[in-house]
Structures are given as C-alpha cells and as structure tokens.
Amino acid sequence: MTRAAATINKGMPIMKGAVSRAILGASALAVLLATAAPVAAQQVRPENASAEEYCRRDLGMWFYCQRPEPPAEEAAPTAAAPMTPAAVPPEIAELEEYQRRLEQARQVAVWRPTPETVEEYYRLQQIALEKGGLFADHFRRLVWTTPELDYTVQRPVVEVAKHGWTDDRLADRDLFLRGISDKVGLFYVYRGSCGACTIASPIVRAFADRYGVTVRAVSADGAPNSHFPNAVRDQGQLAAWGVRQTTPALLFFQASDVDPRTGQIRPRRVRGSNGQMIELLPCTKPQGCLTYAGAGVMSLEDIAERLFVLLSKEPGTDF
C-alpha cells in the first residue's frame, strides 16, 4: 500500500462521519419543511374560505383540522302581546272635555272680551263651583257620620275641646319624660363664643331639673359653662357623632332595649294621665341610640315636645 492510499484510508472515517452528519441534517430539514408547510398554509388561509373547504386540503399527516361547531341559532323573540288600554271611566272623559271647553272659553274671553264671550266663560266656571260645593258637602257629611274618618276626634280643632286635649297631652308628656329619665340622657353642645348659648344654657339646665333627665354638656371650643360646671371638652366625639357646627345643639342618647342574654326587646311603658300606657319607642342597637334633636335656642316646652314626639310617636301618628 502506498503512502497516498494509506492517507486516504486514514481519512475515510472522517469523511464517513461528515457525510452522516450531512445526511442527518438534510433529513431534519426535510421534516421541518414538511411540518412547517401546513402551518404556513394555515396562516395564509383565505378569509372567504369555508371551514369545510379548508379542512379538505392535503395538510400533511401531522396536521389535524378540527371543524368549528356551528353557531347556535338564536331563538326568535316572541312578540309581546299588545297591551289593552284600560277602559276610561265616562266621568273622566266628561271632565277632560269640560276642561278643554273651559280653557278654550277663557282664552277667547281674554283675547276678545265681549259680553257674550265673558258670559260663556263665567257659565262654564259656575259648573265647576257647583260640583266643588256638592263635593265639599258630601265630604263633611261623610266625616260627621263616620267617626273613624274624622281626624278631629284624635286632635280637636274646636277651642273648648282643644284646651282639654292640650292639657291631657301636656300631662302625658310630663309623665312620660319623668318615667324614662333613667333610659334617656341629653348631650348639650355649646361654645364660649356663642351668644345664643348664653341664652340656651339656663333653659337646658331648667329642663334637666324639671324632668330629672341627665344632661352632659360638651364644649366645642373648651370654654367653661357656669350652668354646667362638669362640662367636658370636645376631643373628637362631636365629629364622630356628625354634629354640625351650629351651636347650641341638643342630642339625646337612649340606652339599648335589647336584652343581651336573649336578644329580645324589653319594652318600656309609662302610664299616662287617663290610665293609658305610653310606650317608649325601642332602641334596637346594642350600643344605644344617639339622635340629633335640633340646634339653636329652644324653649323648655319645645325641648320637651321634641323628645316626647321622637321617643313615643311613630311617624304619621302625631301631626
């Protein structure tokens, strides 16, 4: 063997390895191109091609074409049944026709005032006056003969009966406020720079002495009060209570009426002047109830009336 042949024989393994790698690389490239072709075809799918036409194409053995589910057909909305207009009472039709004639006659009489046009308008007006008078007469007869519809039975307007009703109410109010004095207290908010507070302070003091209600004075600016030597300085509680800047102001606190053991309401009733029971409206909050009662200078009677109404009268029963 010559030296050249030996050299060739020595280089054969190297060439064989290079050829093998080339063949493997070519095979891998072919596979890659074969699998990439469907993807490229998918990306250039015409927008107007249907799903069935597209899936029939030869996309390669490794490509799966899944046909989309057809969209669900929406149910056609059912036509709503036409609403039948309610029958209009004949009286309403007559009234509307009368109002039209009256307004037309008024416009004509104003724009062209003659004895005839003014008389026409006046005669039409007389119809309304007569019907209004007849309605008022039927109304008072109904109230007279049906006591449950007569509000004056509950709150008289005749002067003689009104005095008796007022006296009974004042007696009930005083008995009630004294009977709940252990359940209710007042917060009196004032300022040293408030001129109205110098007038209100002795009134609030007199109210506390008369009904035995505990009053805690709160100074909004830290100023003392000769009528309430134990007044406390505001330390943020007024803002927490939502008290407005107007002084003097009154709030009342009511202790909770919820039994902490059973969770039931414990009613408080006070016997009135005629033996009837007056019930304290319950406070259902476990921590008690704080209510803004008003601001400005109030008389002693006004303070008592506000507390009596807010604490014992349901809305709509006393007006």
Q: What is the pLDDT of residues 17-67, one digit of tens each?
A: 444 454 445 454 444 444 444 444 444 444 555 555 555 555 555 555 565
pLDDT at residue 160, rounded to an integer: 81
| pLDDT reported for residue 70 | 64
What are the C-alpha distances in Å from 80 to residues 77, 149, 238?
A: 9, 44, 58
The candidate with the shortest Cα–Cα distance to 295, out of 223, 233, 241, is 241
Which CA distances in Å does 140 have to 44, 148, 181?
90, 13, 43
Does the structure show a pLDDT above 80 at 171?
yes
What per-residue confidence (pLDDT) applies to 15?
Answer: 41
- Cis before 248? omega within 30: yes
What's the pLDDT tens digit per position in 68-119?
566 666 666 666 666 666 788 999 999 999 999 999 999 999 999 999 999 9
Name the β-bridge partners of 215.
186
Residue 259 pLDDT: 87
pLDDT band for position 137 (cuts 50, 70, 90): very high
According to the CATH classification, is domain 164-312 in 3.40.50.1820? no
DSSP 6-43: HHHHHHHHHHHHHHHHHHHHHHHHHHHHHHHHHHHHHH
Which of these, 227, 280, 216, lies nearest to 252 by C-alpha position? 216
* Dihedral angle computed from the Cα positions of residues 310, 313, 315 and 319, in that order, rounded to the nearest 10 degrees: -100
Q: Is the pLDDT of residue 126 over 80?
A: yes
Tokens standing for residue 280: 């304290």
CA distance 317 to 319: 7
Rounded-to-integer distance, Cα 282 and Cα 250, Å: 20
Cα(231)–Cα(227) distance, integer angstroms: 9
Q: What mean pLDDT is predicted for residues 231-240?
A: 90
Low-confidence winner among 31-40, 231-240, 277-286 (lowest mean pLDDT): 31-40
pLDDT of residue 63: 54
Which pLDDT score, from 0 to 100, does residue 38 have?
45
What is the spatial distance between Cα 310 and Cα 319, in angstroms, rounded to a whole number? 12
Question: What local confidence, expressed as pLDDT, does residue 54 receive?
Answer: 53
Backbone angles phi, psi at 251, to 5 degrees: -130, 145
E-strand ranges in 113-234 read: 184-190, 214-219, 232-233
**What integer best gives the mean pLDDT of the chain?**
80
Name the residue with higher pLDDT: 273 or 216: 216
pLDDT at 85: 65
